Every structure is written in C-alpha cells, then in structure tokens.
A = this chain, B = another copy of it.
C-alpha cells in the first residue's frame, strides 16, 4: 500500500507463480475479463483438480479475485493487488495467446461456457 514498488522477496514469490506455463496462460486469459473455471477445463489438457490447484495458488497470493455465482466460480485479476502493476507490466511483453486460446481471449463479452 505504502509503496507501489515490490520488494525482491515478494517479487520472487509472484514470479515463481507466474513461472508456470499453465498459470501464466490463465493470467493472460483473465487479463481483460473474468473466467469461469469450466473455461480453463476446456482449454487445458489436465485434470480438474490440477486446474483448481493452480487457481488456488494464484488466489492465495492475492493476485486473483474469486466470485461464486450459483454453482460456478469465476476468477479475475485483482486490480487492488500489490502485484497488479507487475503482472500488467509482464503481460504487456507477451505475445497474444494463439489458436484455441484466441477464441476465448478475444471474447471479451464474457464466458460462453453455458454458465
């Protein structure tokens, strides 16, 4: 709060979290809108618990907001997080997600997973 700059220790922690292909892609997808867990399940070739655990790590760090609506859970970037500026700075250097992700990341209207 008091300082918009992040100390090395904390920065290393969040960079380690972003240093995983799956989590980094999740963050990219959430850059412009919230995502429903089921969207990630469609995209990533891994079990549902694996996805849930990645999201939990990101949420525990404070980088994500979680919102339950009915039986669904939506995650989004927490713009109030101390890491938000860093995350934005990183995302600004990344190429757009391609292929399968394109469809979803370009759909800024919101999830169309049926939720």
Take A11-B24, A90-B86, A90-B90 as given contacts and tell me if A95 and B16 are in contact as well, using a CB distance cutoff of 8 Å: no
Task: From B11, B16, B28, B90, give the contact of A94 (CB < 8 A).
Answer: B11
* CB proximity to B under 8 Å, residues A1-43: 3, 5-9, 11-21, 23-25, 28
CB closest residue in chain B, given A96: B5
Residue A89 lies at the interface, judged by CB distance under 8 Å to chain B: yes
The answer for the CA separation of A11 and B6 in the assembled complex, in Å, is 20
The prevalent SS among residues of A at the interface is helix
* A contacts with B, residue count (CB < 8 A): 31
The answer for the CA separation of A5 and B90 in the assembled complex, in Å, is 11
Residues of chain B within 8 A of A16, CB atoms compared: 15-16, 19-20
